[in-house]
Structure 1
Amino acid sequence: MSNQNFNEKLIALLKTNPDFVDESGELLPAAVKDHAWKLDHNLIRLLLSDPKIKSTFFDEIDEHWVFNHNTFIDYITAKNFLANSYTQFRNKIGLNIDGKFLRERGEVSLVWPYKDCVLEGGQTKEEEKRKEIFFNEILAQDEINRMFDPKVLTNWKRHTAAGEEEVSDIKRDDNGTIRENLIIKGNNLIALHTLKQQFRGQVKLIYIDPPYNTGGEANIFTYNNTFNHSSWLTFMKNRLDVAKQFLRDDGFIAISIDNYELLYLGTLADEVFGRENRISVLTIVHHPAGKTNNNFFATSNEFMVVYAKNKELAKINFFEMSKETEKTYNEKDEISRYKLENLMRKGETRNARREDRPKQFYPIYVSKDLKQISLTKEEDYHEVYPIENGTEWVWTNSPSTFQQKLDTNEIVVKRHKDGHIQIFFKRRITEYKGLRPKTTWTEKKYNATQHGTRLLEKILGRKSFSYPKSLYTVVDIVKITTDPGDIILDFFAGSGTTGHAVLELNKQDGGTRQFILVEQLDEHISVCKERLEKVTAQEGFLSGNFVSCELKEYNQTYMDKIQAAQSSEELVALWKNIAESSFLNWYVNAETPQEAVQDFIAIDDLEAQKHLLVELLDKNQLYVNLSEIEDADFAVSEKDKALNKKFYGE
């Protein structure tokens, strides 16, 4: 067997293990080597399955086969082992270093869309999946030097109920904090680093609904298959680490998540925010009818993980009285509205039996006409104990507290048709302090179909976004974690539900809460702006004005062109243009030798070719750094220069 045929056989065998291939089915030698160093049983068993491969990498000793892992590792590390077009191109252009693909060395995960979010023609079901796929690339720390520097902001617009206006100023409060509702377009990790200087320690609530990494139909974002648990956790950790810096000491972060990543997210959030600061994991029933995504349970809920920046300082608000509860206060006197509640405490309530609280088991004496009530035994009075069906319960109050209520006319006695006497006290509406939020949210208003999808369709007049959250899920988490003047941040803005929720709550309580939304997809940004413009005009939200801007692109412009390319020929032309006019990674050969072009075309996989071109670009130069705002090469307008100075407080 020739060496080439042996290579092909070995590669084909290794590719049968999904741990050894990338999203396009190409072999990952580094993953294979890692398993070889660990003497992984699955790898050894795989190699033993082929007689020729077995005889090459194993030594027979006394009828036992011993894996010669050094020989195996040396073999797959050799340059001619992977001699396909994909690897040859990477070697020639400089994307392989020390025998490793760069994405295997990384610690920071960046994500870019390479297909805009679109609804395919003819889709009518809400469950049908959008075509929305992302590049993800993990960068090593040594490849990051200026990526997280503040960026130039451009394309400024102020949006009001009357339409768009030019931005001339950035509003601030007396403490110098920016007091504008903001929508910012750009990679959310880089945008967070851009914003942190202005909003560090200023945000009361971060609410995010990140990609769930399920791969299923219900997932808002569909990532390529190597965006697995470890990559997803890297992606999330990068963002949570910087997001924590935005929170006030009494602030909260709430993260919507499904069961696929709940446990992973919990472990990660414990690390970032501290397990001692975990408030709760809420269960939100957002699809009461259930959605069948597998062969087991119909999914009717998702989760919301809630952490405090500092649990000792954090405080939640209670829910206000519902209209249904308000209706139960159906009595009224000269003091206020009230409802009658049974003075007898009974049932499974803690400390409700006589043996639990013997001092609250005592007789109450009631005259025959029910007009006189006393704790002192009187002749011809009814003696009433908290006893029902032979069970001895207790009164709600001690004798002294009962007497106080009696003296202030807060006790009412009624006789039932069967003749037994029941004692009530007045529960006044003014005593209501609010309803403590529960860990399970089941009300109809949390239905994502009715109050998410259909609500958005009604606002926009069309279906343009799949699986938006129920508006009232977000309204309620904002309601219980913020006060009227607080700042709320959402760096996975999606359809703009968080911004809408902030405006809705401000309308309810007259607040001036402020939202900051970050999103990188053009389609999502368009939906956000249109939604908030329309609800501001339709609902009369006084706090609905907002400012939009975006990170000024440099290499990001080429990301957009790569995503739009339809053929290998377009990509080759784009590659040459990139080499001439953009910032390439330092290790990339800027020339385009003909043999490299041939290898590139021979890959014959448009998506794989797009991935390769993305890797050429220096991620430190995706956007124009603020420090380079005066550089003529970046053509920053005088207007943008002035607004950036105002935004950054210079």
Structure 2
Amino acid sequence: MDTVLLKEIKHVLLSFPEYWEQDSLLKSKVIDDLRDYRKDLIEKLLDNEKIRNAYTIKISNNYIFRIDDLIDMLRYKSYWDNSYTKYSNEIGLTSEGRYLKYNTDVVVDFPHKDCVLQGGMTNEEVGKKEVFYHKILAKEEIDILLEPKVFINVKKYDVNGEHEVKEFHDSDNLIIKGNNLIALYCLKERFAGKVKLIYIDPPYNTGTDSFKYNDRFTHSTWLTFMKNRLEVSKEFLKDDGVIFIQINDVEMAYLKVLCDEIFGRENYLNTISVRTKSNAGATGGGEDKRLKKNVEYLLCYCKDYNSFKEFNKVYKKVELMSYIKQMENEGKSWKYTSVFKDFGEKVYYKTIKDGSGQDINIYKRINFKTQSISSIAEEENISLEEAYRKYFDRIFTTENSLSSIRTRVREATDNEDNLYSIEYIPVSGKNKGKVTELFYKGKNKRLVNFLKETAEIDENGKMYKKDIYGTLWDGINWNNISREGNVVLPNGKKPEELLKIIIEMATNSGDIVMDYFLGSGTTAAVAHKLGRQYIGIEQLNYGDEDSVARLKNVINGDGSGISSIVNWTGGGSFVYAELYELNQKYVKQIQNLTSEEEIENVIEDIKEKAFLDFKVDIEKITNENSDFASLSLEEKKNILIQVLDANQMYLSYSEIDDFQYEIPESVKQFNHSFYNKS
């Protein structure tokens, strides 16, 4: 697609014959003259209104020429001439004259960090080892690329099946099929500042072909790919929202620095280590010369640290008696071994003040009685487990708490081996605003901690020890997760249990959860079961094993994953929509080619129907006199994709009424509703 701005720049530069060698622009000479502030060149550029508007800042009726922006455009813009060899060689992204796929020098200021890569993520069945990236785009082209697109094949699913939908409501769950960068910009106006949690599981850039996602980026392209998406996704977060990014050690260090820049170091919360596999066995279990990988990482940032409150308390549960046995086997002391058989008579002692001036009422406990849990079991002729269950609410230990309240209580009471309780209303913490009772025991008035505060009994009478999740998450079951949700994804699938922890930790009922690397739909499935609203975006085609199939199973009462834990029985709904493909369908068609015989038909189809890059003469590139016929199938496919106009992959919403696209009225109604247009 020819752009007005490029035409104007070329028109100005054509008035300087020294910048041209036949039809090829001598970019380095232009750049050198711009850096030397060549007066006549700058004057001609600034005389052009469109160039002046694009590359200057007006301050007090004076114009400041953003010369570096124009130089960057000249350096990175592909000017293709009529030479096929030069054309094919110039496809790609460069930095200082080197193509990014050969560039291994990545620092914080990595190549093309200020660019937009529209490229997708597919690694199709033909086994492509390199993703196709579009060219570096100028501002005008970026605006076209990222403007809202048309949604088609819109459906709503609920317990009664599939339905036509003409309106979109703010409370609807949403699944979008299409390039996630484009889709994010389609969603931005409607959902900016409304999402409480973003979880993504992007390509790890491992250099393998284990996943359908392209996983063979170079550092620079991978970082640019991630930067484009993280920057826009930040705009979706509420002020107290958070993002979790799952990654392994290949790019984790680089990603941390990138996220520090995008979200701000002050908004960094944690790096969580998630144990994913068992330890190496007796033989060592190393991977090549390296140690076996047992963990992945979750990088966690908030939108605004001052607005972020705190994570909800989420606990890891272990069967209590097994936990006690494990402590004994490891030679560790299990401290919850005492029982209050009688809390004694509660007698008012005195009132003191806490640090904020609030009352603390102190009570002395007369004739209280304690006994060890083991002696109770022996005395009552019951098992230790039965004793724990019977006296569950009275089992305790004491600790040498360093709190200011304990200090005040100790100073206000005595040094005798007795028991005091207090009642007060905390001004902060989990019991803020509630009347709270605490016990202090012994000569030093040690704080009493009850087992019931760190353990629970479920509806079946089973006792569990609870530990708050910190930054090491182990005990999550990664076995047999490939069929969770009744859809199969052999590699890369995450356990529903993992997403349950994240979603419960970061959100409350009704909050919006987003995942724009949705895959088989784990995030959406768990959010659905937990009563959260969700937005999912996926580009790849998983056939019958995709997120839509999984969510339909969830609505119909899927019993796998966390269903039994949260008592899931079905219900709810979601809306599904696809981005209207233009050139993107030809990209897929080209990628699926398996033989030379298919090439000619595709070329003719592209010539007749596709939107071609205005700088490329496809006839000259593919005719009998060119070198095209001597290329391999893969090389031909690469070239044909590059011939397509990068900005015409999907249909813009502004073109929805164009008769040539034959968009049904119901689809138009949905799009108007989604974009809040009349």
TM score, norm. by length of structure 2: 0.63
Spell out the pairing of 1:318-397 with structure 2 (5 A cutoff): 318-320=312-314, 324=318, 338-345=393-400, 363-365=415-417, 373=418
How far 1:342 moved relative to its partner? 2.6
Structure 2's unaligned 5+ residue stretches are 1-26, 28-82, 102-110, 322-335, 344-390, 423-436, 457-465, 559-567
Confirm whether residue 427 of structure 1 aligns to residue 447 of structure 2: no
**Shift in alpha-carbon separation, 1:580–1:333, aligned structure 2, 3 A:** farther
Partner of 1:38: none
Given that 1:471 and 1:497 are in contact with CA atoms closer than 8 Å, whether structure 2 keeps it comes out as yes
Partner of 1:249: 239
How far 1:325 moved relative to its partner? 7.7
How far 1:632 moved relative to its partner? 1.1
2:606 to 578, 586, 595: 578
Partner of 1:387: none
Partner of 1:647: 674
How far 1:115 moved relative to its partner? 5.2
Given that 1:250 and 1:314 are in contact with CA atoms closer than 8 Å, whether structure 2 keeps it comes out as yes
Given that 1:103 and 1:139 are in contact with CA atoms closer than 8 Å, whether structure 2 keeps it comes out as no
Partner of 1:137: 133
How far 1:613 moved relative to its partner? 0.9
SS of the residue 1:620 aligns to:
helix
Spell out the pairing of 1:471-620 with structure 2 (5 A cutoff): 471-506=496-531, 513-523=532-542, 526-539=545-558, 540=568, 544-592=572-620, 595=623, 598-604=626-632, 606-620=633-647
Given that 2:200 and 2:517 are in contact with CA atoms closer than 8 Å, whether structure 1 keeps it comes out as yes
How far 1:289 moved relative to its partner? 3.7
Confirm whether residue 186 of structure 1 aligns to residue 205 of structure 2: no
1:112 to 103, 111, 120: 120
Whole-angstrom distance in 2 between the partners of 1:504 and 1:439: 25
Whole-angstrom distance in 2 between the partners of 1:588 and 1:477: 48
1:233 to 218, 223, 229: 223
How far 1:453 moved relative to its partner? 2.1
Given that 2:272 and 2:473 are in contact with CA atoms closer than 8 Å, whether structure 1 keeps it comes out as yes
Whole-angstrom distance in 2 between the partners of 1:361 and 1:324: 39
**Shift in alpha-carbon separation, 1:491–1:217, aligned structure 2, 3 A:** same
Partner of 1:161: 159
Confirm whether residue 449 of structure 1 aligns to residue 479 of structure 2: yes
Whole-angstrom distance in 2 between the partners of 1:187 and 1:156: 16
Given that 1:114 and 1:134 are in contact with CA atoms closer than 8 Å, whether structure 2 keeps it comes out as no
* Amino acid corresponding to residue 163 of structure 1 in structure 2: G
**Shift in alpha-carbon separation, 1:610–1:341, aligned structure 2, 3 A:** same
How far 1:440 moved relative to its partner? 0.7
How far 1:168 moved relative to its partner? 3.5
Whole-angstrom distance in 1 between the partners of 2:339 and 2:624: 85
Whole-angstrom distance in 2 between the partners of 1:469 and 1:214: 17
Given that 1:329 and 1:338 are in contact with CA atoms closer than 8 Å, whether structure 2 keeps it comes out as no
Whole-angstrom distance in 1 between the partners of 2:204 and 2:666: 40
Given that 2:209 and 2:215 are in contact with CA atoms closer than 8 Å, whether structure 1 keeps it comes out as no
Whole-angstrom distance in 2 between the partners of 1:343 and 1:96: 64
SS of the residue 1:237 aligns to:
helix
Whole-angstrom distance in 1 between the partners of 2:286 and 2:209: 10
Q: Deviations over 1:390-434 (max 9, x none)?
A: xxxxxx99xxxxxxxxxx996789xxxxxxxx9994627479999
Whole-angstrom distance in 2 between the partners of 1:334 and 1:484: 40
Partner of 2:4: none
* Amino acid corresponding to residue 416 of structure 2 in structure 1: I
**Shift in alpha-carbon separation, 1:630–1:332, aligned structure 2, 3 A:** farther
Whole-angstrom distance in 1 between the partners of 2:668 and 2:500: 36
Partner of 1:208: 200
Whole-angstrom distance in 1 between the partners of 2:244 and 2:535: 15
* Amino acid corresponding to residue 488 of structure 1 in structure 2: V
Given that 1:576 and 1:592 are in contact with CA atoms closer than 8 Å, whether structure 2 keeps it comes out as no
**Higher deviation after alignment, 531-540 or 264-273:** 531-540
| Cα-Cα RMSD | 4.2
Partner of 1:264: 254
Whole-angstrom distance in 1 between the partners of 2:248 and 2:580: 34
Partner of 2:354: none
Q: Deviations over 1:443-463 (max 9, x none)?
A: 2x2x3334x32535xx23xx4
SS of the residue 1:591 aligns to:
helix
**Shift in alpha-carbon separation, 1:312–1:145, aligned structure 2, 3 A:** closer
Partner of 1:624: 651
Confirm whether residue 296 of structure 1 aligns to residue 321 of structure 2: no
* Amino acid corresponding to residue 450 of structure 2 in structure 1: R
Whole-angstrom distance in 2 between the partners of 1:112 and 1:635: 26
Structure 1's unaligned 5+ residue stretches are 1-29, 31-84, 119-130, 172-177, 366-372, 376-395, 398-407, 414-421, 507-512
Q: Deviations over 1:186-241 (max 9, x none)?
A: 011101011101111111111000000011476663444xx200110000001111
Partner of 2:381: none
Given that 2:419 and 2:440 are in contact with CA atoms closer than 8 Å, whether structure 1 keeps it comes out as no
Whole-angstrom distance in 1 between the partners of 2:180 and 2:206: 21
Given that 1:496 and 1:528 are in contact with CA atoms closer than 8 Å, whether structure 2 keeps it comes out as yes
* Amino acid corresponding to residue 455 of structure 1 in structure 2: E
Whole-angstrom distance in 1 between the partners of 2:192 and 2:235: 6
**Shift in alpha-carbon separation, 1:526–1:193, aligned structure 2, 3 A:** farther
**Shift in alpha-carbon separation, 1:206–1:193, aligned structure 2, 3 A:** same
Whole-angstrom distance in 2 between the partners of 1:330 and 1:503: 43
Given that 2:200 and 2:518 are in contact with CA atoms closer than 8 Å, whether structure 1 keeps it comes out as yes
Whole-angstrom distance in 2 between the partners of 1:261 and 1:524: 30
Partner of 1:305: 299
**Higher deviation after alignment, 515-524 or 287-296:** 287-296
Given that 2:314 and 2:504 are in contact with CA atoms closer than 8 Å, whether structure 1 keeps it comes out as no
2:309 to 306, 315, 323: 315
Given that 1:114 and 1:562 are in contact with CA atoms closer than 8 Å, whether structure 2 keeps it comes out as no
Q: Deviations over 1:347-384 (max 9, x none)?
A: xx989xxx9x997997434xxxxxxx479xxxxxxxxx
SS of the residue 1:643 aligns to:
helix
Given that 2:274 and 2:472 are in contact with CA atoms closer than 8 Å, whether structure 1 keeps it comes out as yes
**Higher deviation after alignment, 490-499 or 327-336:** 327-336
Whole-angstrom distance in 2 between the partners of 1:316 and 1:600: 60
Given that 2:202 and 2:517 are in contact with CA atoms closer than 8 Å, whether structure 1 keeps it comes out as yes
**Shift in alpha-carbon separation, 1:561–1:100, aligned structure 2, 3 A:** farther
Partner of 1:57: none
Sequence identity percentage: 32
How far 1:631 moved relative to its partner? 0.5
SS of the residue 1:343 aligns to:
strand
Partner of 2:663: 636
SS of the residue 1:211 aligns to:
coil
Given that 1:158 and 1:546 are in contact with CA atoms closer than 8 Å, whether structure 2 keeps it comes out as yes
**Shift in alpha-carbon separation, 1:205–1:374, aligned structure 2, 3 A:** closer
Whole-angstrom distance in 2 between the partners of 1:533 and 1:576: 40
